[in-house]
Amino acid sequence: EETRSFVARQPQSRAHRDRAAHLAGGATSNWQIAEPQAVWFSHGSGSKIYDVDGIEYADFHGGYGVSLAGHGHPAIVAAVQERVTRGTHFAQPTEDAIVVADNLAERFDQPLWRFANSGTEATMDAIHLMRAATGRDRILKVEGCYHGHHDSVEVSVLPEPDDDIGPPDRPHGVADNSGIPDAILDLVTIVPFNDLGAVERALAEHPDQVAGMILEPVMMNAGIIDPVDGYLAGLKELLHRHGALLTFDEVKTGLTVGPGGVTRLVGVTPDLVCLAKAIGGGVSTAAIGGTEEVMSLIADGRYEQVGTFNGNPLAMAAARAMLTEVLTPASYAHLDRLRDRMTVGLQDVIDRHDLPWRVVTAGAKGCVSFLPHPIRNFRDFLQLDGRYGQAHWLVQANRGAFLPPWGKVEQWLVSVQHTDEDIDRFVANCGHLASRLTAP
């Protein structure tokens, strides 16, 4: 019924799909292809987005975690407009890059920065840097963490049901995409999240071979999984003891969980941190920050960190506005207030319907976890029945709130322009889902 009404409301999205004969798969990324059909958008304003059928949604998708400023934020619009008229690309640095690097250095407690264009590029550079700095090739990667679509990290992200993923404490590496050579599996050791013992064992089994470890310090591509107390500090200590490095992939968590990411929240500073998504205020950019020791490889040319669009002036202008004008302490206070309103509202739904679900939040991000027990790692997450996420997405979309259309549980993102009314709409829709599921 929800699926039928979803399709019936969107004839123009269907028509766009039919017209898109020259777009492979009828979309611009495989993750835009949704069931029962992709929604095509025309514009956004504030906390709202509008599809090609003219339907308004409160945007909780946030472009997979990018739209922390909301849409058409005056500071971003002014910065981009001003930049457009003065040239958008020189492949030479512009002054905004200095301000952006200074701001990120302060927020993330890392002295040296470079820019790239996507989360994929940032994590690729970080892994190259860990290898270059140590002269070792092997990396440790957490089962279920997503770091983009380059070879070393498209391993054990979201296995297919018939993949041999091995025992929970010793997961097998599984190539996650066609086109990823099996040979890469020899260079990647997969460990479970929140398990220091597994890391210690991997380091002992591959003495002097591990360049470093990359992980999302709060796992966000499997709902939201917090690190247990001491895990991140323990990783840093263990890895350093074995001459290996630590990279935090804060592409999703970066500015959304707080002004200085998980790095600041937990007080553990890794050797390298990767940022992308929200930092560009809606324009594509990414950043890699690191210690003097590691980033000196870039400074002296031992590692060539390059890219035609690195530090693109349009992206730097938007990032400058995002960091210096949009993400003020008052904005974070607003985000915290909305998070609390959401948590209280959803918890009330759960209590009223006596459901075993949980509300899990991390700053401006959050999700409803449709499992009775807390999720500590990816194997716990795999027990989740994906039909809940799909039903939630449809129920929200049919009632004016848009969540990411993919995955068992993607997180919502609340922007600085969201209002109490947006939150209340989301909560009411979730209440509707709960009533439908518990109706006799």
Tell me which of 147, 242, 379, 392 binds ligand PMP, using CB under 6 A.
Answer: 147
Residue 94 is a binding residue for ligand PMP (CB under 6 A): no
336/214 Cα distance (integer angstroms):
28
Looking at residue 186, what DSSP letter applies?
G
Q: Candidates 146-154, 358-366, 367-375, 403-411 — which segment interacts with ligand PMP by CB under 6 A?
A: 146-154
Rounded to the nearest whole angstrom, what is the least distance from the CB of residue 243 to ligand PMP in the complex?
25
Strands of 41-45's sheet in order across: 41-45, 48-51, 56-59, 401-402
Residue in 57, 64, 146, 388 annotated catalytic: 146
Residue 64 is a binding residue for ligand PMP (CB under 6 A): yes
Judged by phi (left if over 0) then psi (alpha if -120 to 50, else beta), residue 311 lies in left
Distances (CA, A) of 74 to 77, 104, 231, 282, 415: 5, 22, 40, 13, 14
Please confirm, yes or no, whether 408 is among the known catalytic residues: no
Tell me which of 44, 62, 70, 119 binds ligand PMP, using CB under 6 A.
Answer: 119
Q: Candidates 104-112, 144-152, 160-168, 264-272 — which segment interacts with ligand PMP by CB under 6 A?
A: 144-152
Rounded to the nearest whole angstrom, what is the least distance from the CB of residue 66 to ligand PMP in the complex?
9
403, 297 contact by CB (below 8 A)? no
Tell me which of 124, 165, 238, 276 binds ligand PMP, using CB under 6 A.
Answer: 276
Give the type of residue at 164: D
Please confirm, yes or no, whether 252 is among the known catalytic residues: no
Helix (H, G, I), strand (E, B) or coil at 212: strand
Tell me which of 10, 47, 103, 123 binds ligand PMP, using CB under 6 A.
Answer: 123
Tell me which of 96, 109, 195, 216 binds ligand PMP, using CB under 6 A.
Answer: 216
Instruction: Please give the distance of CA 284 from its chain centroid, rounded to a whole number.
Output: 14
Tell me which of 251, 316, 318, 342 binds ligand PMP, using CB under 6 A.
Answer: 251
Residue 252 is a binding residue for ligand PMP (CB under 6 A): yes
Residue 223 is a binding residue for ligand PMP (CB under 6 A): no
Helix (H, G, I), strand (E, B) or coil at 136: coil
Tell me which of 148, 227, 282, 431 binds ligand PMP, using CB under 6 A.
Answer: 148
- Judged by CB under 6 A, the number of residues near ligand PMP is 14
257/273 Cα distance (integer angstroms):
15
Residue in 277, 303, 365, 380 annotated catalytic: 277
Residue 226 is a binding residue for ligand PMP (CB under 6 A): no
Distant-in-sequence, close-in-space partners of 71: CB < 8 Å, separation ≥ 6: 43, 44, 45, 46, 47, 48, 49, 59, 282, 415, 417
Tell me which of 3, 32, 118, 419 binds ligand PMP, using CB under 6 A.
Answer: 118
Structural Rg of the chain based on CA atoms:
21
Give the burial string for 170-199 (b: 16+ CB within 10 Å, else e).
ebebbbbeeebeeebbebbbbbbbbbbebb
Q: Where are the alpha helices (DSSP H) in 219-328?
A: 231-241, 261-262, 292-299, 313-321
Phi, psi of 95 (to 5 degrees): -60, -35
Q: Candidates 94-102, 157-165, 179-187, 245-253 — which segment interacts with ligand PMP by CB under 6 A?
A: 245-253
Residue 120 is a binding residue for ligand PMP (CB under 6 A): yes
Q: Candidates 5-13, 143-151, 336-344, 409-417 — which segment interacts with ligand PMP by CB under 6 A?
A: 143-151
Residue 146 is a binding residue for ligand PMP (CB under 6 A): yes
Please confirm, yes or no, whether 249 is among the known catalytic residues: yes
Positions marked catalytic: 146, 249, 277
Residue ranges that bind ligand PMP, judged by CB under 6 A: 64, 118-120, 123, 146-148, 216, 221, 249, 251-252, 276
